[in-house]
Amino acid sequence: MHLKRINIGGVETPNNVFVAPLAGYTNSPFRVLCQSLGAGLTYTEMVSAKGLCYGSENTSELLKMTDGYSGIKAVQLFGSEPDFMRRAATDREIEPFDLIDINMGCPVPKIFKNGEGSALLADIKKAQSLVKAAKASKKAVTVKFRIGLTEEKLVTRDFAVAMEDAGADLITVHGRTRDKIYSGDVNYEQIAKAKAAVKIPVIANGGVFSRQDADRLLNETGADGVMLARGVLYNPFLIAELTNTPVADKKRLILKQIDDCYDNYDYRYSTVTLRKMLAMYLKGAHNATKLRTSLIACTSREQIVDLLFSDDYTI
């Protein structure tokens, strides 16, 4: 794929390969790993604007950044009330971040029923008010959204234009409707319509598991870059493949992720999270089932590291 820098409201990325905000996965150690593999931009897990305003302890954990991260700092917020969005965007805990993304695509029922995430696709004026509220931070503001709630209710072009008009500095378009969750074909045509309708950068998201997928997504949509999601959970080294970043020792990079996790989070969280993530990295391995079973049984850092460096664990 063609690599290029992206200017997002004065914040310039080193390239156009981004990693999506992924609930339960994109903690700081994982973002450090992604950056070391060449990612141009990574985001925190999505953070509740209201939770941040009320001082939620869990929210503070989501915003944690380890010392090893030196890239652009981007946070994703979600919510449906402009006042809470404005207060969150200007909160002292957001001060270290260079960029704020607003989630308007999450399909999870709990989020949707609260009028947040993809529910905002049905209320363009409210969506615009959230962007304007976040702009009170004076930071670059981006929006990630889907092409509609269903195939019968596609809103891509109008929504893209509305976000630009409200002040968004970049949009990311997930080429699926809300009802498809994370399955089904990606609608390249709809992403292309968004790109043709606005002057701000457009990032295409959906279905990238290989270099060929990334090339097709860019070629068929004309988008300025790609955002990786599930593909990078199964294979974080896809980032290096797309950005032409040399990788000398994959296991050593994962070891750093393990060390960063235990150094910055509590023991139980680190163990559970790392078991889950290392199991995903095994997708396609010839002995994946056996190794996943072994991972689930791990209860300590030492056991996880021993398994990582065993001859059976190949990545």
DSSP per residue, 147-195: SBSSGGGB-HHHHHHHHHHHT-SEEEEESS-GGGTT-S---HHHHHHHH
Backbone torsions φ then ψ of 268, nearest 5 degrees? -65, -45
Q: Average pLDDT in the 136-151 region? A: 96
Alpha-carbon span 288 to 305, nearest angstrom: 17
Q: What is the pLDDT of residue 47?
A: 96
Q: Average pLDDT in the 180-195 region? A: 92
Considering the chain, tell me which residue range(s) the CATH 3.20.20.70 domain(s) occupy: 6-243
Is it the case that residue 56 has pLDDT exceeding 90?
Answer: no
Query: What's the token pair of residue 190?
Result: 């709809």
Of the candidates 252, 258, 266, 257, which has an alpha carbon nearest to the alpha carbon of residue 302? 258
Is it the case that residue 2 has pLDDT exceeding 80?
Answer: yes
Q: Average pLDDT in the 277-301 region? A: 89
**Per-residue pLDDT tens over the stretch 131-141:** 999 999 999 99
Q: What is the pLDDT of residue 152?
A: 93
Count CB-CB contacts under 10 A for residue 195: 22
Which stretch of DSSP H or E encloses residue 238? helix 238-243
**Per-residue pLDDT tens over the stretch 87-114:** 999 999 999 999 999 999 999 999 999 9
Q: What is the pLDDT of residue 287?
A: 83
106 catalytic, yes or no? yes
Q: What is the pLDDT of residue 282?
A: 87
Mean pLDDT of the chain: 94
Cα four-point dihedral sign 145, 151, 154, 157: positive
Q: Average pLDDT in the 34-47 region? A: 96
Q: What is the pLDDT of residue 188?
A: 97
**Per-residue pLDDT tens over the stretch 209-251:** 999 999 999 999 999 999 999 999 999 999 999 999 999 999 9
Catalytic residue among 53, 106, 261, 298: 106
Of the candidates 275, 278, 280, 281, which has an alpha carbon nearest to the alpha carbon of residue 297? 275
Whether 31 and 192 have beta carbons less than 8 Å apart is answered as no
Is it the case that residue 57 has pLDDT exceeding 90?
Answer: no
Of the candidates 84, 194, 214, which has an alpha carbon nearest to the alpha carbon of residue 148? 194
What superfamily would CATH give domain 6-243?
Aldolase class I (3.20.20.70)
Is it the case that residue 284 has pLDDT exceeding 80?
Answer: no
pTM of the predicted model as reported, rounded to 2 decimal places: 0.95
Is it the case that residue 36 has pLDDT exceeding 80?
Answer: yes
Is it the case that residue 142 has pLDDT exceeding 80?
Answer: yes
Percent of the chain whose pLDDT exceeds 70:
100
Whether 278 and 249 have beta carbons less than 8 Å apart is answered as no
Beta strands in 70-139, from DSSP E residues, in sequence order: 74-78, 99-104
Is it the case that residue 5 has pLDDT exceeding 90?
Answer: yes
- Going by pLDDT thresholds of 50, 70 and 90, the confidence category of residue 179 is confident
Alpha-carbon span 47 to 28, nearest angstrom: 14
Percent of the chain whose pLDDT exceeds 90:
86
Query: What's the token pair of residue 279?
Result: 């199991």
